[in-house]
Amino acid sequence: MNIINIIRKKRLTSFFFLLLIPLLAYLSLLYYAKRPLGDSHVVHTIDIPKGTSFTRIVDVLDEAGLVKHRVLFYLLAFSQRAAGHIRAGEYELASSMTPLEIIKKMVRGEIKGYLITFPEDLTVKEFAARLAAYKLADEKTFMRLAMDRNFLAELGVVGSSLEGFLYPDTYLFDRSMETREIIRIMVSQFWKKVTPELQNRAKELGFTLSDFVTLASMIGKESGDKGEKPLISAVFHNRLKKGMKLQSDPTAVYDLTNFSGIITKKDLQNSTLHNTYHISGLPPGPIANPGIDSLQAALYPAAVDYLYFVSRKDGTHQFSTNFTAHNEAISKYKSRQEQ
C-alpha cells in the first residue's frame, strides 16, 4: 500500500512539474514581452529593405541592442504571428520600448515618414534634388522617369517631361516608397487641382493642356504675389493676341546649366529653346511646376490692356500699356545687372 502511494505521489509530482514548466515559460515570455528593454530612452533608426528575411530583421534589431534574449524574442514574434508580416521601411525604435511594442509597431508598419513641402514654381530638377536630400529618391532615377514617355502616358501627362505636372504641396513620404509611387502621388495631386472645369476653360481660350500649364509656369516664375498674377497673365495674353514676343526673363535661363541666379542682358540673348526673347509665342513646355493661383490666373487674366511690366524690387511689378511708360519704369526700378 505504501509503495502504491509513493508511486501515486511521484506521478502527481511529475504531472505538477509538467504543468509548471509551460506555465513558467509563459510567465517568463510575458515578463520579457512587457518589460522595457532598458532604463534609458535611446532612439534607434532601423532600416528594413524590401525582401529582408525575418531572421535578418532579428539580426538588425539585435545589432542595435533591441532584442537582448534572442530565443524569447523569436517565441514572442511567432506568438504574435509577426514573421512574414513586418512591413519594409524605416523605423524609429526606442530602448525604452518593450519587445512586444517593437514587434507590434513593425507588424502595423508604423514606419518613419518625412513631411516635405515643395514650394510653388520649383523645377523638376529641384523636386528631384529635394527628394534626394531626404534619401527618398535617387536623382538620376527620378529624372529618367521624368522623361520616360511610357510612364508619362500612364500618368496622363502630355509633352516630353513631368515639368509642370508635379503639384507643389506638402507630402508625407517614407523610404519604403519607390520613385514611381512618389511621382504618381504628386501628379495625382495635380489632376485633383486641374479640374475638368479648368481644362474646358483652357480649350475655350484655344490653349492645349501643355499651353495652359506652360503659361501658368511663366506666371508663377514671374511673380509670387497672388494679387498681381492675373495682371501678369493679362500682359502675356495681350502680347499673344498682338503677335508680340512674350519676353519673359525666367524663360531665358530655364535651359542654362550654369545659371548664376542673377539674370543678365547676356542671358536674355541666348538662343535657347525656351527663351521667349528669342522665340515667338509660348515656350515648347512648362519652365516650372505652378500652384493653383498661377493655374487659375493663366485662364482668367485681368481685364486690363497692359503690355509691359518691370520689377519694383519688393516682390511686385510696375505695369505699363506702352513702351515709353515702360522705359520710364525701368529707369525708376532698375532691375537687371548690367554686363
Of the candidates 224, 214, 228, which has an alpha carbon nearest to the alpha carbon of residue 309?
A: 228
Instruction: Give me 114's grid cell.
Output: 518625412
- Helix axis angle for 179-193 and 139-146, nearest 10°, is 50
23 has a pLDDT exceeding 60: no
pLDDT at 210: 96
Averaged pLDDT for residues 190-195: 98
> Which residue shows C-alpha cell 529635394?
130
pLDDT at 158: 87
- Please enumerate in sequence order all residues whose Cβ is within 8 A of that of 4, keeping only pairs 6 or more positions apart, or say none: none
d(CA 280, CA 277): 8
pLDDT at 270: 84
* Cα atoms in the Cβ-side hemisphere of radius 13 Å centred on 207: 26
pLDDT at 98: 92
Position 212 confidence tier, pLDDT thresholds 50, 70, 90: very high
In our burial notation (b when 16+ CB lie closer than 10 A, e otherwise), range 167-203 reads bbbebebbbbbebbebbebbbebbeeebeeebeebbe
Sign of CA dihedral 280, 257, 262, 215: positive
Write phi, then psi, for 300 (nearest 5 degrees).
Answer: -130, 75
334 has a pLDDT exceeding 80: no
31 has a pLDDT exceeding 90: no
Write phi, then psi, for 45 (nearest 5 degrees).
Answer: -95, 115
254 has a pLDDT exceeding 70: yes
Element spanning 87, H or E: none
pLDDT at 199: 97
pLDDT at 267: 79
Of the candidates 110, 120, 166, 121, which has an alpha carbon nearest to the alpha carbon of residue 142?
A: 166
List pLDDT tens digits, range 34-52. 888 887 888 999 999 888 9
List pLDDT tens digits, range 56-95. 999 999 999 999 888 888 888 888 888 888 988 899 999 8
pLDDT at 17: 52
2 has a pLDDT exceeding 70: no
d(CA 176, CA 5): 66
Give the DSSP letter of residue 320.
E
Least confident interval from 14-23, 165-174, 249-258, 324-333: 14-23
Q: Percent of the chain having pLDDT more than 90?
A: 66
> Which residue shows C-alpha cell 523638376?
124
On average, the pLDDT of the chain sits at 89
Predicted structure pTM score: 0.83
Contact in structure between 61 and 10 (CB atoms under 8 Å)? no
pLDDT at 295: 98
pLDDT at 337: 42
Averaged pLDDT for residues 119-147: 97
d(CA 107, CA 104): 5
21 has a pLDDT exceeding 80: no
338 has a pLDDT exceeding 50: no
Averaged pLDDT for residues 315-319: 91
Q: Residue 128 in 3-state DSSP? A: helix
List pLDDT tens digits, range 298-314. 999 999 999 999 988 88
Sign of CA dihedral 250, 251, 252, 253: positive
Cα 22 to Cα 10, 32, 35, 68, 80: the distances in Å are 19, 15, 20, 21, 18
Domains in the chain: ranges and CATH? 29-108 (3.30.1490.480), 114-193 (no CATH), 198-332 (no CATH)
- Please enumerate in sequence order all residues whose Cβ is within 8 A of that of 293, keeping only pairs 6 or more positions apart, or say none: 120, 220, 226, 229
CA geometry: angle 75, 80, 81, nearest 5 deg: 95
Burial class (CB in 10 A: 0-12, 13-18, 19+), 238: middle
In our burial notation (b when 16+ CB lie closer than 10 A, e otherwise), range 251-280 reads bbbbeeeeeeeebbeebbeeebebbbbbbe
132 has a pLDDT exceeding 90: yes
